[in-house]
Structure 1
Amino acid sequence: MNRDVLLKRLEKYKMVAAVKEPKFLEKAIKNKDHLSAVLLMTGSILTVKRYVDYFQDHGLPVILHVERVGGLEMDEDGINFIKRHVKPAAIVTTKNRVIKKAKSHGLFVVQRVFLIDTDVFMHLQKEIEHIQADMIEVMPSRAPDFIRKLSEISPVPVITGGLLSLPEHAKTALDSGALAVTTSNPDMWKLDLTNY
């Protein structure tokens, strides 16, 4: 699956299932008609390709959280392994060095940013024009004022996740300018945000 499919699905369905344990793979597939993609946050170098193929064979693009893949080092070999063998639609990382290296290899990259305080937001705001990632994921999602401000100035799409437990939380994040929301709460995966 490629980045164009991922972006179109994010625009249409608005909900990304963050899968943190293998026991939730089937549940994500059961809700695939409401999901944009899967944010895969489980697996090892022995299982990750199988998981990615499983979702993508069912029409769900995978955003692979590379820091959560057991046994994977995101050096030159790790990036080549992801690009040539695993083939997710995108990767997500918090590390600038990984973003730069992955982009140089043609991977679609989502930068995860934790808004732990105003200083982090101010730094992000100041450096937004120099962002190297293709998309930003803001954590937590329950900071609508900051999501709105960032969405207004970001040259790349903004998605958001973390602390989503009610439909109102998702809708507030989307109303604040997020392209889509991510959640590991399987009850939220049933929420139909199509064309919201």
Structure 2
Amino acid sequence: MNEGTELLSRLEKYKMVAAIKDPKNMEQAVLYKDHLSAVLLMTGTILTVKRYVDFFQSHGLPVILHVDKIGGLQMDHDGIEFIKRNVKPSAIVTTKSGVIKKAKTSGLYVIQRVFLIDTDVFTHLEKDAINDQIVADMIEVMPCRAPDFIQRLSKVSPVPVITGGLLNSPEHAKEALDHGAMAVTTSNAEMWKWNVNNL
């Protein structure tokens, strides 16, 4: 089973991704690993990121690495190869289309993070989905509190849709999942305690 397949399987099963913005929350995520699909690592530098990824993977948690947030990391050819060969996350997430294309070419599993700041952004994304022009393996829509847009996109997207941002109650998670999101991401550690399948 390759990294992308394992990640997808866990996303379908557990539906909750713990976003880690501070190393002090790492132990807490491991505490609730039986409710989590994966962790979205949004902290660290090129000096610490491998250690953080290894820590989670040693506890059976796949890591989605937010490469835009890692200090000192430049996602050129060498940076991508460094991530692929040395850090070895299950997937990366980025907002940058150039990084998505280069990372896909190198064989990394890539999640495209999209901020729905206005209708134009959504219309462009929906058009790309309908025309099968999505390059990434998955889309993360931000914020999660736009269930009607999540539903519209998930109906036409050739790749799975996850969502996060402004998620601070089980009801928000359930609404996003009911509207077509495969999983939700949150940095709210209180939410990690919930088994969203029981909502």
Shorter-chain TM range is over 0.9
- Structure 2: distance between partners of 1:117 and 1:127: 16
| Partners of 1:13 and 1:195 within 8 A in 2 | no
Q: What corresponds to 2:146 in structure 1?
A: 143
Q: What corresponds to 1:159 in structure 2?
A: 162
- Superposition pairs of residues 33-182 of structure 1, within 5 angstroms: 33-128=34-129, 129-182=132-185
Taking structure 1 as the reference length, the TM-score comes to 0.98
Deviation at 1:195, TM superposition (A): 7.4
- Structure 1: distance between partners of 2:50 and 2:187: 20
SS at match of 1:174: helix
- Structure 2: distance between partners of 1:127 and 1:32: 35
SS at match of 1:77: helix
- Structure 1: distance between partners of 2:122 and 2:19: 24
Two-structure CA RMSD over aligned residues (Å):
1.0
Deviation at 1:194, TM superposition (A): 3.5
Q: What corresponds to 2:5 in structure 1?
A: 4
Deviation at 1:193, TM superposition (A): 1.8
Gaps of 5+ in 2: none
Gaps of 5+ in 1: none
- Structure 2: distance between partners of 1:181 and 1:68: 19
How many residues matched? 196
SS at match of 1:72: coil
| Partners of 1:135 and 1:156 within 8 A in 2 | yes
Q: What corresponds to 1:22 in structure 2?
A: 23
- Structure 2: distance between partners of 1:15 and 1:5: 15
Greater than 2 Å deviation, 4+ residue runs: none
